[in-house]
Structure 1
Amino acid sequence: MSAYAPDERSKAKRYAKNVTYDKDEIQSILAAQPLLHVAFNAAPSDPSTPQFPTILPMLGALGTHASDPEPHIYLHGSSVARLSRLTSNTGPTGLPVCVSSTILDGYVLALSPYNHSCNYRSAVIFGHATFVTDADEALWAMELLTNQVTPSRWANSRTPPTRAEMTATAILKVRIETASAKRRARGPESDRKDAKDAETVARVWTGVVPVYQVLGEPVEAPDNAVKEVPGYVQQWTESESRKAREIALEGATG
């Protein structure tokens, strides 16, 4: 098993049975959806004001470029955004960031509110973000990010991007230093005292309400000129919906 070495940033201190440092598990959570949350610190313009961390939702994808054998998280942003400017000014060291992804798989209803929970998959990654300046790597990352949103979309859209589009886009890549994942996939766990209380057991329904994202029927744009939804889009929507449902139901009965 290949795993990230935990340190003071990523080592879990609670609910250790839900935690893993396995790279495959962490990478599967990152690959499950394109929207990631990226946290970083930016010095306030007024030094007398408190410094608050900033968290941004960003499109991201995990990939391994030919220039480096290690996988990196590639992030898509605007070249004039604050995070892009901060990253470009840090040089080869990069900007310290924390990247997270969470997927809700179910609401867990126990006998008492204290023991209510959620089934979920989450990953937290610590690393340094750098600005991608190599044109070939930036174009490769654009393809990676596009296909993370919808598989095969790069080959089925107007490509490559124009010079103006690439200039307006910032591609950041995060070198992963340490990471951990948490996953809960089981039914409710009530206190023994509650479980032995016949009146409570007879009155309170317990179980799991599965949660999963269903991709709906594609809706064409007003100016769409293609008569039928492409097969790759239809197959993707059906496959993703089925996969999410299976994971949520498996956790509910696990």
Structure 2
Amino acid sequence: MATEEIYAQTAQNKVRRYGPRGVYDHDRVHNIINAASLVHVAFNPPALDGEDQFPVILPMLGAMGTFISASPSSEAEPHVYLHGSSAARLMRMGGDAPTGLAICIEATLLDGYVLALTPFSHSCNYRSAVVFGNARLLTDAEERLWAMELITNNTIPDRWANSRVPPTKSELTATAILKVRIVSASAKQRAGGPHDDRKDLKDGEMRKKVWTGVVPVHEALGEPIASPDNLVENVPSYVTGWVEQANVTTKSHAVDRANDP
């Protein structure tokens, strides 16, 4: 039986507020990163003359994956791959950092609004992950192409094979991929209904006036709309199937988490 892989709890990644909600197993963290439509990447840019230095947070496309190479020196472990323009500041910084650029990656999935008897006890059902790692600009041609396919298919399953591929030389030049080695990570999540104060729960009159419960929240994909240049008569099944399955999955997950004890 395989042993579950766990990120060690450190001062950096330990969940302090509502500690029991923290989880550290690899699969949970990686699945949240891959399920998020966008991830947010934080880094410290170099100071500019005469200006205060502020941290920067950017929304980006990214995915978790393990690249398997024929090279004996390759790292057969999961990394986060981030997609961006080769002209972007973050990508240039990743190429300049000899030991990797220190960054933080965050993803959150909102599953529901939790309505309690008092505003103080209101909450949300959610799943979130925070990853600390070192980012380097990916230069290996084979792995770059693999990472582009990984990110594309993580966003829209099977889209890579159903597009015009491989990318042209100019497209490859304009695109940069950051490969992030994970140093530490953790996830945090909440599920279930409201947790009201015992004193409030004894107030029968108030409970008859104030509705409590959970409003599930889930991302919904709409009906595909053809572009003006599209010549394909019908929406391909891999697109319609993805839309249908994604909507069923996200909705049922939000409802299930609302009903968690």
Contact 2:6 2:25 in 1 (8 A): yes
1:55 is matched with: 57
* 1:39-54 alignment, distance < 5 Å: 39-46=42-49, 48-54=50-56
TM-score, normalised relative to structure 1: 0.97
Name 1:236's counterpart in structure 2: 242
Q: Which residue of 1 aligns with 2:71?
A: none
Where do 1:86-165 residues align within 5 Å?
Answer: 86-91=93-98, 93-165=99-171
Provide the secondary structure at the position in 1 that maps to 2:161. helix
Structure 1: state its 5+ residue gaps.
Answer: none
Q: Name 1:84's counterpart in structure 2.
A: 91
Task: Give the secondary structure class of the aligned counterpart of 1:234.
Answer: helix
**1:51 CA drift (Å):** 1.8
Residues in 2 aligned to 1:40 and 1:126: alpha-carbon distance in whole angstroms: 10
Selected match of 1:182 from 185, 188, 202:
188
Structure 2: distance between partners of 1:241 and 1:30? 18
**Letter aligned with residue 77 of structure 2:** E
| Corresponding residue number in structure 2 for 1:70 | 77
- Name the % identity: 56
Q: Is 1:62–1:73's contact at 8 Å kept on the other side of the alignment? A: yes
What's the offset of the Cα at 1:49?
A: 3.3
TM-aligned CA deviation for residue 18 of structure 1: 1.1
How far is the alpha carbon of 1:50 from its aligned partner?
Answer: 2.6
| Mapping of residues 9-28 of structure 1, within 5 Å | 9-28=12-31
Structure 2 unaligned regions, length at least 5: 69-73
Letter of the 1:158 counterpart: R
Q: Give 1:33 deviation, angstroms.
A: 2.5
Letter in 1 for 2:90: L
When normalised by structure 2's length, the TM-score is: 0.95
Compute the RMSD of aligned alpha carbons: 0.9
CA distance in 2, matches of 1:153, 1:220: 15
Residue in structure 1 matched with residue 32 of structure 2 by the alignment:
29
1:32-83 Cα deviation digits (max 9, x unpaired) = 134110000012212x533211000000011101132110000001111110
SS in 2 for 1:223: coil
Alignment match of 1:3 (pick from 3, 6, 10): 6
Matched residue, 2:41: 38
